[in-house]
A and B are shown apart, each in its own frame.
Chain A
Amino acid sequence: MPYFAGIDVGSLSSDAVIIDGDANILGFSVQPTGAHSTNAAEAALAEALDKAAVSRADLAYIVATGYGRVSVPFAHKRITEISCHGLGAHHLFPDTGTVIDIGGQDSKVIRLDKFGKVVDFSMNDKCAAGTGRFLEVMAERLGVSLDQMGALSQQAQREIEISSVCTVFAESEVVSLIARNQPKAEIIRGLHKAIVGRVWSMVKALGVTGAVTMSGGVAKNQGVVKLMEAKLGQKVHIHSEPQIIGALGAALAALRGGKA
């Protein structure tokens, strides 16, 4: 039986998904990209194949996506993460009309038609505000892990505003808040609000249609998700592994012979 692989080489993580001819997910992997994209792609693919118990020789087609898609020499085709996130989200949640992807280096909002085809999209500009990197910088500054941020933010007693949208300025602002002994939980909640506010301008610009699916690593952060839901006035779909949606979309494109 032929199998299909999708590899999403992002700025922070490289993810791979293996599917069979019926689009069932057999295995996946999330690896830090580190300093070498090709190695990260290899490592992610090897682990995903291992989990899926599929040998590399049985892969009929491989599609690469993400910023590092050009650094995957063994891919048959390269497709943008915009099309891939659309495909992946539509496959997991067929009623998806809007995808909000908050990745490591950029965030984007994608509007889909009922077949999962990209109708329109918006991406953040040349700036880390409103991305996973923004939270990563702040987590480091606050001495907490990225995974803890969501739960910590739920403990906030009061609302505070982080007024800077720029990562560099916001970090200075966080330093001042730490100096004033502002509780961590409140600072984190303020940061979540800042990131949602930043992404929200893209959501507004594009308009929301249908159900909303969030993808990317930041979708694991319950604090961000809750704030986004409150803004949207509707629940959002979150897959248990939101980071692999791009790679899944790439695998689905591979199944279609490389058609986005």
Chain B
Amino acid sequence: MSLTNKLQFSFMKDLGAPALMALNQAGKKKRPPKPNPHFGPPLKSAKRLKEIMTRHYFLARYARGARPVAWVTSGAPVELLRAFGFYTIYPENHGALCGAQKMGPKLCQAAEEHGYHPDLCSYARIDLGHYFTGITPAGRLPKPDLLFASNNICQTVLYWYKALAHYHNVPLLLFDTPYNFRDITDSDVSFMSAQLEEMIPVLERVSGRKFVMERFQEIVQMAHDTSALWGQVLATMSHRPAPMTIFDAFVHLAPVVSLRGLPVSREYYKLLLAELQERVSLGIGAVTNENKRLMWDNIAIWYKVRDYAELFASKGMNFVAATYTNAWAETIHYLDQAKPFESMARAYGLVILNNNLNHRLGLMEQMIKDYQVDGLVIHSARSCKPYSVGQYDMKRLLMERLGVPSVVIEADITDSRHYSEEQAQVRLEAFFEALEN
């Protein structure tokens, strides 16, 4: 870490970034968003969210050399890295950003030109495409000093991060989480917590900082509190009308995913929660005429989020729950600063994608009841097989047990070449016809 880089980073963090962002805002013509009669008033917190995320990506440009930089998978126990002051980049979050900006096909193609197969996860292809071309909507991503992956979300991350480790010539830490077929065992937990402890010397070497237990415990507590707040944010949608839609939640999810364990994310969710609670007390709904409540399964179709939000709202349908957004609230109650390693092993070993399908079915049943869900939209994502496997069985069983109708949309999270508008339309319209009759 060089002193110049550190000074530059600290200047940008405190003065440069806010000033440049303000300047950037001032330069843009304030175009008030076209009022859409199907939506309630927009969330005021969204402005703050945009600031936080813009600043995070903006500062990332100055992080290299000033702070140790790690690239991290969405399900990795990042709290450990926070104890060493790592600046973290989430390629999956970046991939979602590229997807939302409709840059997916271009970056995926760049990876395919280097021999990566079109069936590979499109988050991975976007990330590798970014490596080959440098194209990103975020300006510039800092080169990693360390890669940190956990296979609790899929096995693909292992090979994807191995490729990154090869290209960047930096160490890769893998947190290996045994799949939970029935119940997590003590030996699973000790296997996982021992790995975390073994990572400390590597993290000390890469970051040049000593591990301080008390600091780590504070971070674990902060992550716990942030995720608990996120859980409360989601729970406000059990009210009728729901004060936000899951399409909002897809976006407001970013801090708990990629800034978890930092004060900024915890403070943000306090703000968002207060706003949502106020909306609940005033009876303000995200959708003006909420007559049907839906649940979403799987990762968002990032390039269709806005279109879908408008389409469903125009029918008076609101998505009030999703297994995806719930994932960052579901297992976090296991986090316990008194037993940081062991509790992290449970919290991260039991995430939805590392847990068995019976668990997922039970969770979906519970969410359908808690959120009074009338129908289910299931995204079968070409990229994410661990999430998409078993969906047809879930669909059938939920129909049998709860009589909840559902529809499967075959698409991809970011690679819109795998999305057919006509085919998705006809499925959705048939679903609407079934719900309305």
Listed in ascending order, the chain A residues whose CB lies under 8 Å from chain B are: 67, 79-83, 106, 117-123, 125-126, 205-207, 259-260
Instruction: Pick the residue among B399, B429, B434 that contacts A117 (CB under 8 A).
Output: B434
Give the chain A neighbours of B399 by CB distance below 8 A. Answer: 119-120
B418 touches A126 (CB 8 A): yes
Instruction: Pick the residue among A81, A120, A207 that contacts B426 (CB under 8 A).
Output: A81
B427 touches A119 (CB 8 A): no
Please report the C-alpha to C-alpha distance between residue A79 and residue B430 in the assembled complex, in whole angstroms.
Answer: 8
Q: Tell me if B422 counts as interface (CB < 8 A to partner A).
A: yes
Give the chain B neighbours of A106 by CB distance below 8 A. Answer: 423
The 8 A-B residue pairs with the shortest CB-CB distance, nearest first, are A82-B430, A80-B430, A260-B433, A205-B392, A126-B420, A80-B429, A83-B433, A125-B410
Give the chain B neighbours of A118 by CB distance below 8 A. Answer: 430, 433-434
Interface 1/0 per residue, B380-411 and A, CB below 8 Å: 00000000000010011001000001101010
Please report the C-alpha to C-alpha distance between residue A55 and residue B340 in the assembled complex, in whole angstroms.
Answer: 80
Residue of A nearest to B434 (CB): A118
> In the complex where A126-B418, A206-B396 touch, is A119 in contact with B405 (Cβ < 8 A)?
yes
Give the chain B neighbours of A123 by CB distance below 8 A. Answer: 423, 426-427
Q: How many residues of B contact A (CB 8 A)?
A: 20
CB distance from A167 to the nearest CB of B (A): 16
CB distance from A243 to the nearest CB of B (A): 18
Task: List 13 A-B pairs, Cβ < 8 Å.
Answer: A67-B422, A80-B429, A80-B433, A83-B430, A83-B433, A117-B434, A118-B434, A119-B399, A119-B434, A120-B399, A120-B405, A205-B396, A206-B396
B430 touches A259 (CB 8 A): no
A126 touches B410 (CB 8 A): yes
Please report the C-alpha to C-alpha distance between residue A259 and residue B395 in the assembled complex, in whole angstroms.
Answer: 26
Residue of B nearest to A122 (CB): B408
A207 touches B396 (CB 8 A): yes
Q: Tell me if B437 counts as interface (CB < 8 A to partner A).
A: yes
Instruction: Pick the residue among A126, A205, A206, A259 that contacts B437 (CB under 8 A).
Output: A259
Please report the C-alpha to C-alpha distance between residue A98 and residue B371 in the assembled complex, in whole angstroms.
Answer: 31
Please report the C-alpha to C-alpha distance between residue A250 and residue B437 in the assembled complex, in whole angstroms.
Answer: 16
Please report the C-alpha to C-alpha distance between residue A238 and residue B396 in the assembled complex, in whole angstroms.
Answer: 27
Please report the C-alpha to C-alpha distance between residue A112 and residue B86 in the assembled complex, in whole angstroms.
Answer: 56
Please report the C-alpha to C-alpha distance between residue A122 and residue B409 in the assembled complex, in whole angstroms.
Answer: 10
Residue of B nearest to A79 (CB): B433
Please report the C-alpha to C-alpha distance between residue A83 and residue B434 in the assembled complex, in whole angstroms.
Answer: 8
Please report the C-alpha to C-alpha distance between residue A81 and residue B434 in the assembled complex, in whole angstroms.
Answer: 12
Please report the C-alpha to C-alpha distance between residue A118 and residue B395 in the assembled complex, in whole angstroms.
Answer: 15
For chain B, residues 276 to 303, give those with C-beta under 8 angstroms from any C-beta of chain A.
Answer: none
Residue of A nearest to B432 (CB): A80
Please report the C-alpha to C-alpha distance between residue A248 and residue B392 in the assembled complex, in whole angstroms.
Answer: 30
Residue of B nearest to A117 (CB): B437
Please report the C-alpha to C-alpha distance between residue A120 and residue B398 in the assembled complex, in whole angstroms.
Answer: 12
> In the complex where A120-B399, A125-B410 touch, is A260 in contact with B437 (Cβ < 8 A)?
yes
Residue of A nearest to B380 (CB): A125
CB distance from A212 to the nearest CB of B (A): 18
Please report the C-alpha to C-alpha distance between residue A120 and residue B423 in the assembled complex, in whole angstroms.
Answer: 16
Give the chain A neighbours of B427 by CB distance below 8 A. Answer: 121, 123
Instruction: Pick the residue among B395, B396, B423 that contacts A126 (CB under 8 A).
Output: B423
Q: A117-B434, A121-B427, A260-B437 are in contact. List 20 more A-B contacts (CB 8 A).
A: A67-B422, A67-B426, A79-B433, A80-B426, A80-B429, A82-B426, A83-B430, A83-B433, A118-B433, A119-B399, A119-B405, A119-B434, A120-B395, A120-B406, A121-B430, A123-B423, A125-B410, A126-B420, A206-B396, A259-B437
Give the chain A neighbours of B405 by CB distance below 8 A. Answer: 119-120
Please report the C-alpha to C-alpha distance between residue A119 and residue B405 in the assembled complex, in whole angstroms.
Answer: 7
Give the chain A neighbours of B433 by CB distance below 8 A. Answer: 79-80, 82-83, 118, 260
Residue of A nearest to B396 (CB): A207
Give the chain A neighbours of B418 by CB distance below 8 A. Answer: 126
Please report the C-alpha to C-alpha distance between residue A2 and residue B372 in the assembled complex, in whole angstroms.
Answer: 43
Residue of A nearest to B417 (CB): A126
Give the chain B neighbours of A125 by CB distance below 8 A. Answer: 410, 423
CB distance from A169 to the nearest CB of B (A): 15
Please report the C-alpha to C-alpha distance between residue A126 and residue B423 in the assembled complex, in whole angstroms.
Answer: 7
Give the chain A neighbours of B430 by CB distance below 8 A. Answer: 80, 82-83, 118, 121
Residue of B nearest to A82 (CB): B430
CB distance from B393 to the nearest CB of A (A): 8
Residue of B nearest to A125 (CB): B410
Give the chain A neighbours of B422 by CB distance below 8 A. Answer: 67
CB distance from B435 to the nearest CB of A (A): 10
Give the chain A neighbours of B395 by CB distance below 8 A. Answer: 120
- The listed residue with most A CB atoms (<10 A of its CB), out of B392, B396, B406, B426, is B426
Interface 1/0 per residue, B209-249 and A, CB below 8 Å: 00000000000000000000000000000000000000000
Give the chain B neighbours of A126 by CB distance below 8 A. Answer: 410, 418, 420, 423
Please report the C-alpha to C-alpha distance between residue A125 and residue B423 in the assembled complex, in whole angstroms.
Answer: 8
Please report the C-alpha to C-alpha distance between residue A165 and residue B260 in the assembled complex, in whole angstroms.
Answer: 45
Please report the C-alpha to C-alpha distance between residue A81 and residue B433 in the assembled complex, in whole angstroms.
Answer: 11
CB distance from B292 to the nearest CB of A (A): 16
Please report the C-alpha to C-alpha distance between residue A75 and residue B232 in the assembled complex, in whole angstroms.
Answer: 48
- The listed residue with most A CB atoms (<10 A of its CB), out of B418, B429, B436, is B429
Give the chain A neighbours of B396 by CB distance below 8 A. Answer: 120, 205-207
Please report the C-alpha to C-alpha distance between residue A119 and residue B433 in the assembled complex, in whole angstroms.
Answer: 10
Please report the C-alpha to C-alpha distance between residue A125 and residue B437 in the assembled complex, in whole angstroms.
Answer: 26
Give the chain A neighbours of B406 by CB distance below 8 A. Answer: 120
Please report the C-alpha to C-alpha distance between residue A148 and residue B408 in the assembled complex, in whole angstroms.
Answer: 36
Please report the C-alpha to C-alpha distance between residue A184 and residue B205 in the assembled complex, in whole angstroms.
Answer: 70
Give the chain B neighbours of A82 by CB distance below 8 A. Answer: 426, 430, 433
CB distance from A215 to the nearest CB of B (A): 15
Residue of A nearest to B395 (CB): A120
CB distance from A210 to the nearest CB of B (A): 16
Please report the C-alpha to C-alpha distance between residue A206 and residue B396 in the assembled complex, in whole angstroms.
Answer: 7
Please report the C-alpha to C-alpha distance between residue A106 and residue B395 in the assembled complex, in whole angstroms.
Answer: 21
